[in-house]
Chain A
């Protein structure tokens, strides 16, 4: 939509909005946002300053293996958080691993949103057969635990892919598995809201002008359904990262050659009892920080956008 030329700019409106006010007043939200920003930026700028590229076997030296964190006896620069049994720097592995985890989280939320919003709008707007077909498919998917769907999908797709592509396609398989169970929640929310909105008179006014159905759905109805979707998407971003970590921990996610946080935890888990706690503890901490900051932000957003709590 073109806005009247004399409207205030987006930045000015953001600064004046209720949401921004509520954000600045809520310490936990500011804390979570700053923490999340630090985590994401550090993960994506890692190649600039990380001591080594943990994905590149040529950079790993076995004589650097099993070094404890730098503040313990035997700790060595530049291995701040120590190294694992392959001589891989834990800090670098965490940064690179977070990058994969975050990318998979974002990709699965985006694809789930696209499918969920599209099918939710169509189901809510057209009703009848379209609604029944889409929602029953969703019901079936919801009745199977997410992890089980993910295991099934990744097992099947992995078998279908040629061996050369298995490692490369692992991220794609993970995204597909998370999306398959994730889109239903968005579709249900959007469908319920759309079914309410499409009966409102502003939609009828647009129908009177013979505005095409697709445009009514996307420019009239969708903006009025976005609030709960925004909250769900934020919280699901944390969930997606966790699901990815779970699958990788179970050994059906990212391969050890391209470790995500879950893979790192799985690998480190084996050495927990041999005294090398740093291999598993730091990836776990990173995963916790990531998910907690996302969830804090999502919780704040849910309260801030809830008109009943104002």
Chain B
């Protein structure tokens, strides 16, 4: 694999969710913290696509905002590789909600021109107009659409505008925070194909965040499964879909609807994600895990690499596949 565009090591983020000072004093409550991201490490291959998947509230979006710098990490490091211009890459972002990510009072032209003006990428008004037209064409809209307001577009078109705005900064690294979850299925495919095409044409690197396993399968080279702020399994896409090891990954794959066999016999596991305010002891997945035992409740499993390139944090997998375990070395160690 090539040099990683982004290497993240032991990244954590705590949120202070305490009640206001006066309430704490009166009700004698301690300060409360929410551990949204808990000691995660991964690397995104340059020109590739790493997907983070998991249920709502598992910390995916927090990772996205940490990587782009909207949040500051509580702990850990993020290392961006140098871009074409020799400076470290800066991440741009495509947001989840195409209705909230475009300022409703601004014309599309001004929305896309803002990065150009702000980062002084184009000098004159004529150059800006030309570049905005170019960007609109790239994402499949017409230059004259710049005159309109965001509310004149459909969700899919808005997401195209959002992509055009992100592309205006000439980024090499894009963080996509569930870019298709607000769109209906036929439009999702269009947007995903657009993003794939742009990746091929411009050599973009994606950190893709989603809860939709089929979308992730279409987009990514590597998948990292998150549960309650931790990565529980990371593997190449084919490996993960062919041979999911962590019980949680297996659960996620079970939830993908199957067109050919919609009534197939599924082992549906009940339960919801526990509150990240009070994460369960040991392996945080143990209350929902069908294979859990006393050790899972007591001891937090460490990340373990296996010979097929996957990394899993699970006691059961470690016990049954001990023969296939490989030490975490080199780049793999760094990204462990």
Contact assessment for B118 and A209 in the assembled complex, using a CB-CB cutoff below 8 Å:
yes
Rounded to whole angstroms, the CA-CA distance of A200 and B103 in the bound complex is: 9
Q: Does B15 interact with chain A (Cβ within 8 Å)?
A: no
Contact assessment for A7 and B107 in the assembled complex, using a CB-CB cutoff below 8 Å:
yes
Q: Does A155 interact with chain B (Cβ within 8 Å)?
A: no
Q: Which residues of A contact B107 (CB under 8 A)?
A: 1, 3-4, 7
**1/0 contact trace for B206-234 toward A, CB 8 Å?**
00000000000000000000000000000
Q: Which of B74-130 contact A (CB under 8 A)?
A: 92-93, 95-97, 100-107, 109-110, 114-115, 118-119, 125, 129
Q: How far is the CB of B67 from chain A (nearest CB, A)?
A: 11
Rounded to whole angstroms, the CA-CA distance of A210 and B100 in the bound complex is: 19
A205-B93, A205-B165 as given contacts; A1 in contact with B129, CB under 8 Å: no
Task: Name the residue on B nearest A210 (C-beta).
Answer: B118
Rounded to whole angstroms, the CA-CA distance of A224 and B100 in the bound complex is: 12
Contact assessment for A7 and B93 in the assembled complex, using a CB-CB cutoff below 8 Å:
no
Task: Name the residue on A nearest B175 (C-beta).
Answer: A208
**1/0 contact trace for B131-157 toward A, CB 8 Å?**
000000000000010110000000000
Q: How far is the CB of B130 from chain A (nearest CB, A)?
A: 12
A210-B118, A211-B114 as given contacts; A201 in contact with B106, CB under 8 Å: no
- 27 cross-chain CB contacts under 8 A: A2-B110, A3-B107, A4-B129, A7-B107, A7-B147, A201-B95, A201-B96, A201-B97, A201-B100, A201-B101, A202-B102, A202-B103, A204-B70, A204-B93, A204-B101, A205-B93, A208-B68, A209-B114, A209-B118, A209-B169, A211-B114, A211-B118, A220-B103, A220-B106, A223-B103, A224-B103, A224-B105
A-B contact count (CB 8 A): 61
Task: Name the residue on A nearest B21 (C-beta).
Answer: A132
Q: How far is the CB of B43 from chain A (nearest CB, A)?
A: 22
Q: Does B69 interact with chain A (Cβ within 8 Å)?
A: yes
Q: How far is the CB of B157 from chain A (nearest CB, A)?
A: 16
Q: How far is the CB of A300 from chain B (nearest CB, A)?
A: 22
Task: Name the residue on B nearest A222 (C-beta).
Answer: B105
Contact assessment for A207 and B70 in the assembled complex, using a CB-CB cutoff below 8 Å:
yes
Contact assessment for B125 and A2 in the assembled complex, using a CB-CB cutoff below 8 Å:
yes
Q: Which residues of B contact A (CB under 8 A)?
A: 65, 68-70, 92-93, 95-97, 100-107, 109-110, 114-115, 118-119, 125, 129, 144, 146-147, 162, 165, 169
6 smallest beta-carbon distances between A and B, as pairs: A201-B101, A201-B95, A223-B105, A202-B103, A200-B100, A4-B109
Q: Which residues of A contact B118 (CB under 8 A)?
A: 209-211
Contact assessment for A224 and B109 in the assembled complex, using a CB-CB cutoff below 8 Å:
no
A4-B129, A7-B147 as given contacts; A205 in contact with B110, CB under 8 Å: no
Contact assessment for B101 and A202 in the assembled complex, using a CB-CB cutoff below 8 Å:
yes
Rounded to whole angstroms, the CA-CA distance of A98 and B68 in the bound complex is: 57
**1/0 contact trace for A1-25 toward B, CB 8 Å?**
1111111000000000000000000
Q: Does A206 interact with chain B (Cβ within 8 Å)?
A: yes
Q: Which of A41-68 contact B (CB under 8 A)?
A: none
Q: Which residues of A contact B102 (CB under 8 A)?
A: 202
Task: Name the residue on A nearest B20 (C-beta).
Answer: A132
Task: Name the residue on B nearest A223 (C-beta).
Answer: B105
Q: How far is the CB of B7 from chain A (nearest CB, A)?
A: 21
Q: Which residues of B contact A211 (CB under 8 A)?
A: 114, 118
Q: Which residues of B contact A6 (CB under 8 A)?
A: 144, 147
Other than A6-B147, A205-B101, give 4 A-B pairs with Cβ distance below 8 A: A200-B101, A202-B101, A204-B95, A223-B105
